[in-house]
Amino acid sequence: MTFSLNAQTVGDDGDVVVFLPGLFGQGKNFSTIAKGLQPEFRSVLVDLPNHGGSDWTEEFDYVEQADLIAEHLRAGAAAEGPVSLVGHSMGGKTAMVLTLRHPDLVSRLAVVDISPVRRPAMGEFEHLLDALLGLDLARTSSRKEADEALKEPIPEDMVRGFLLQSLASTSEGLAWRPNLELLRRSLPVIADFPDVNAEYDGPVLWIAGAKSDYVKSDEHSEIMRSLFPRTRLFTIKNAGHWVHAEQPQIFTEVLKGFLSS
């Protein structure tokens, strides 16, 4: 059975840029950035496995995830040559693994606010996943009702709104697009980074949010440059972990400069 990976394309012309979102995300979360890259670039916005409109897997594994996306690119966006790859958070780890394992598919890589190391604390994501799994969808008839029910465990309007984008109406009622149960039990694997014995010698832009602790240049630079020797770190002020959502204009300018260089 062929694995179905959902993706949408923004733009008709230009070099191809492929975006991989983070945990809970969907490719469409990069729509604003993709529009900002037009007309010079054509963007492919991918839903990672177990997210959005893509199929689910039986286990979470970065290598499997990277290989599934590589197979999709090889038959599609990268069929005529290597593409630029952009990955945020969990999608950034996936992008790094894909690039190391399939360097012929990637002309350049942008890694957004994540490092190739184990993250020691995932309490925030445990809390969010537990809150979503605790929502009784059988007794919830609309996204508005779901929003009300989640206000106590998730009081931040922006976070709740982002998560509710993944709540879909089906013929059998409301359903979560992400494979929440798999993601919840796989958090230790998601927090880690696999041992990939390879090196990528293409250009790499490492983008960090100044208010985020996911990239610690003093601690993480050595391992990053051992895998990606041509890494350049750029930190965006007044941005946390969701750099592209918090500072979209600056992020787009920085990314476009890197893609055009």
Tell me whether residue 181 is one of the annotated catalytic residues. yes
Catalytic position from the list 181, 199, 219, 253? 181
Catalytic position from the list 89, 107, 115, 212? 89
Q: Are 45 and 28 in contact (CB under 8 A)?
A: yes
Indicate the DSSP class of residue 41: E
Tell me whether residue 172 is one of the annotated catalytic residues. no
Catalytic position from the list 51, 102, 241, 244? 241
* Type of residue at 140: T
Nearest to 43 by CA among 79, 86, 107, 106: 86
Exposure b/e, 207-223, CB count within 10 A at least 16 = b: bbbeebebbeeeebeee
Taking CA atoms, 82 is separated from 77, 238, 257, in Å, by 9, 33, 18
Helix extents (H) in 170-233: 180-185, 187-191, 217-227
Q: Are 108 and 204 in contact (CB under 8 A)?
A: yes
Known catalytic residues are: 89, 181, 241
